[in-house]
Structure 1
Amino acid sequence: MKSKGDTMGNRKNKKTKTLPKGLVLRGKTYWINYSMNGQSYCQSSKTEDLDIAKEILEKLHAKIALDKWHPEEVKAKEVSFDELCEEFGVYAVGRIKSWDRSFSSIVRQLQKQFKDYLLSDFSTKGVEQYQSALIAQGLAVATINKRLMVLKLLIAKAVAWKMCPRELLLDVRDVKTLGGANKRLRFLSKVEQDALIEACDAHVKPIVQTALATGMRKGEILGLKWDKVDLRHNLIFLDTSKNGERREVPVSDSLKAILQSITRHITIPYVFHDGKGRYGDVKKSWHSALLRAEVHGYSKCDYQSSVQNSGTCPLCNSEILTRKGIKDFKFHDLRHTFASHLVMAGIDLATVAALLGHKDIKMTLRYAHLAPSHKKNALQKLDAYYTEKEAIPDPNSCKIYTSEKVELTANAKNS
């Protein structure tokens, strides 16, 4: 039998094995063992918390590694945040897909905010104060979190490029992102959709119709080439989607007719072009269409089920008007419109996720509230299950069965 001392010793050894290299538990306090310049040291972490001790050990190793690898270079020159942003801009071109569209603008905003900062000036408190200032400005939670994410990426690159010690990255990473990020979901009603298509210029209309029929992003549509369009099998092939995976987009009969009506240019491979090459953007024409759109059947209570130009609203009894312009709507919201109409038409979320190219179903769950009828149908089926009466056996038949069973048993014994 094992003695009590052996058992306690085994427990202690088992507990020690779970600690990372360089940490030792003495009593309730964690101690740190490390070596520098060929000499071994041991010091107390002054904490009983394992996670804090691990963080102290990691910072210490980072500092030792920095002093060992590039002590003169780092100590001799203080790198400014402005220098980091300039170098990152050169690095990002061709490596970060969204650099030209949005990423670069966030870096410029950070560069303007911290233009007089050295990298050594950054701290957890300073970044949290910047975060608080953005909150005070009334910026959206998602916008604030995105800026913080980019700042952390910049500092991480500075560490990788030996511009600053790794402990600076740990300080910046201590700043937590805000919870409750707002997820914008704006989509067009059928009346608004028809009004927008009607208001589009001739060169923009097929682009908008493609977005509404496929849920493709603006960059995917403007960069679409004819060799990626297979009208024989009704498919569009996207080799480089946002999530980095290849995607096949089905083509409906209505979209096929639209694509077939487009005249191909002999020297331009793009489906949508201006006669010289692909469109850089269609912002001006897009905003003009939003302003020109006339939505009929509009009233003070926003009742839009009627397309009449006169009369009164059955909900608020106000005069039915024609609303000029579609407000609070972006091109990317055409993708939301595509998904929302699919869900409202009764298409299951798994299919919607596949059509949108979502890798995670959580991205698609934002549209789940648009299908209340399916939840209602599910509960009705449950009610039907509970209220369904089970067949009650006839007592007489039970008696006959019992008597027959007794008689058969008696005959078996006699034989």
Structure 2
Amino acid sequence: MPKLSRETLTKAAVESAKPQARVYSLRDAKVVGLVLRVQPTGRKAWAVAYGRGQATTIGDFPVMTLEGARITAQRLLAEIAEHGAPLRAQRKAETFGEFIRDQYGPHVEATAKQGKATVAAIKSVFGGWYDKPLTAITLADWDALKAERLRSGTQPATVNRDLDRIKAALQQALNWSLMDANPLAKVKRIKRGIEARVRYLSKPEEKRLRTALEAREKRRRKSRESGEAWRAARGKDSLGAFQGYTDHLMPMTLLAINTGLRRGELTQLRWADIDLKGKRLTVRAGYAKSGKARHIPLNTEALATLKACRKQHNGDGPLFGVAAVTKSWRNLMTAAKLDDFRFHDLRHTFASKLVMAGVDLNTVRELLGHGDITMTLRYAHLAPEHKAAAVELLVL
């Protein structure tokens, strides 16, 4: 019999639960019926126990957090109290669309930080499957969709995210006993070699970018001054001069080029993540792509940028309050005469400049938040002089 323990579970207790030779369970005293099963492999799965020896898996930790597991378990236990069993266990014949709309969608929105975005992405990419019976989805369906996505120019990284989302959804259907097997369980992500695209700014290009940013700021300030004169002439209230930057574009660009943060990490930064005295910022695990927090030291320009931003904020909430910079970035690229340069390439510029300055790849990996060194190796070719110095150490 598995070992059982009863306690009011905490995040620390769940994270510290170590695998043993046999599966064991931790039972939550706060939501009676919620169980964390720890497998010898290290897998930690949430389940809801009910009736005599009956249980249903509801998700894996850490994908499903303790808070999310409690919310899901309470909903499931309410179903069991009213109907004698989970409703999902009673409904096996349904379409993929009904599964997403009625079950998986509410579940992932309640338990995942980007739940709504995940559901929207599934509908956008897999909408053609919505009328298909859930149990009729096959590997061939995925292969056909993947091929079509790649033919249309969708990047492999985006297709990999598509795969991650659909595998997670189908795995949850399996956990809920709505399917006998996950047809995509063994499908692997598209491998991206270290030769993957690395576009970074040359010194002349970076100079043009900075010049375009300064010119844009100057135009916007001049426009504000003109508007103030117009308002004054008509007796309207003054908007006041700009404090710090005129909008989000210049500070986001400067921070990206000096910290290597992804656009999504920048847009979710909050003032609570910034330590101006300690000269560092924290990328929280909740919005880091890797799911792990990391701390980035602030160089002189990054620190000055944040201090300028601070002039227009009260120190609470998000730094920028925007989700995208698509239009303003496109106009900036035109003004700077930069071709084939995305906002994400500022991250490549950050990494490339570090490597060319002699910073070791593992330090670059830590600053970028890469899970392993493989992704960081794409920058290795930028330091050929270090390879040459290494082989010179060989003696006859």
Please give the range of the TM-score, normalised by the shorter of the 2 chains.
0.5 to 0.7
Amino acid at match of 2:212: A
Deviation at 1:143, TM superposition (A): 3.3
Tell me, yes or no, if the aligned pair for 2:281 and 2:297 is still in contact at 8 Å: yes
Change in Cα spacing, 1:193 to 1:271, as seen in structure 2 (3 Å) is farther
Q: C-alpha offsets along residues 59-117 of structure 1, whole Å, 9 cap, x if unaligned?
A: xxxxxxxxxx989986875211111222333322364345566x445312333221321
Residue in structure 2 matched with residue 243 of structure 1 by the alignment: 290
Q: Which residue of the other structure, out of 109, 130, 152, is the alignment partner of 1:93?
A: 109
Tell whether 2:130 aligns with 1:115. yes
Change in Cα spacing, 1:121 to 1:269, as seen in structure 2 (3 Å) is same
The SS at the match of 2:309 is coil
Amino acid at match of 1:237: T
**Percent identity, aligned pairs only?**
32
Residue in structure 1 matched with residue 383 of structure 2 by the alignment: 371
Query: What is the alpha-carbon distance in structure 1 between the residues aligned to residue 390 and residue 309 of structure 2?
Result: 45
Q: Bigger shift: 151-160 or 82-91? A: 82-91
Deviation at 1:160, TM superposition (A): 2.0
Q: Which residue of the other structure, out of 174, 180, 199, is the alignment partner of 2:212?
A: 199
Q: Which residue of the other structure, out of 245, 262, 268, is the alignment partner of 1:217?
A: 262
Q: Which residue of the other structure, out of 269, 272, 277, is the alignment partner of 1:232?
A: 277
Amino acid at match of 1:259: L
5+ residue gaps, structure 1: 1-68, 294-324, 387-415
The SS at the match of 1:362 is helix
Q: Which residue of the other structure, out of 176, 184, 188, is the alignment partner of 2:197?
A: 184
The SS at the match of 1:146 is helix
Query: What is the alpha-carbon distance in structure 2 between the residues aligned to residue 100 and residue 327 of structure 1?
Result: 34
Residue in structure 1 matched with residue 185 of structure 2 by the alignment: 173
Change in Cα spacing, 1:272 to 1:91, as seen in structure 2 (3 Å) is same
- Aligned pairs for 1:266-277 (under 5 A) are 267=314, 269-270=316-317, 272-273=319-320
Tell me, yes or no, if the aligned pair for 1:229 and 1:237 is still in contact at 8 Å: yes
Change in Cα spacing, 1:287 to 1:95, as seen in structure 2 (3 Å) is farther
Amino acid at match of 2:158: T
Deviation at 1:366, TM superposition (A): 1.7
Amino acid at match of 2:332: A
Change in Cα spacing, 1:251 to 1:133, as seen in structure 2 (3 Å) is closer
Tell me, yes or no, if the aligned pair for 2:88 and 2:176 is still in contact at 8 Å: no
Query: What is the alpha-carbon distance in structure 1 between the residues aligned to residue 88 and residue 316 of structure 2?
Result: 51
If the length of structure 1 is used for normalisation, what is the TM-score?
A: 0.59
The SS at the match of 2:329 is helix
Residue in structure 1 matched with residue 160 of structure 2 by the alignment: 145
Query: What is the alpha-carbon distance in structure 2 between the residues aligned to residue 119 and residue 137 of structure 1?
Result: 26
Change in Cα spacing, 1:154 to 1:105, as seen in structure 2 (3 Å) is same
Q: C-alpha offsets along residues 29-87 of structure 1, whole Å, 9 cap, x if unaligned?
A: xxxxxxxxxxxxxxxxxxxxxxxxxxxxxxxxxxxxxxxx9899868752111112223
The SS at the match of 2:281 is strand
Query: What is the alpha-carbon distance in structure 2 between the residues aligned to residue 376 and residue 97 of structure 1?
Result: 47
Query: What is the alpha-carbon distance in structure 1 between the residues aligned to residue 188 and residue 283 of structure 2?
Result: 36
Tell me, yes or no, if the aligned pair for 2:264 and 2:323 is still in contact at 8 Å: no
Tell whether 2:329 aligns with 1:286. yes
Tell me, yes or no, if the aligned pair for 2:261 and 2:368 is still in contact at 8 Å: yes
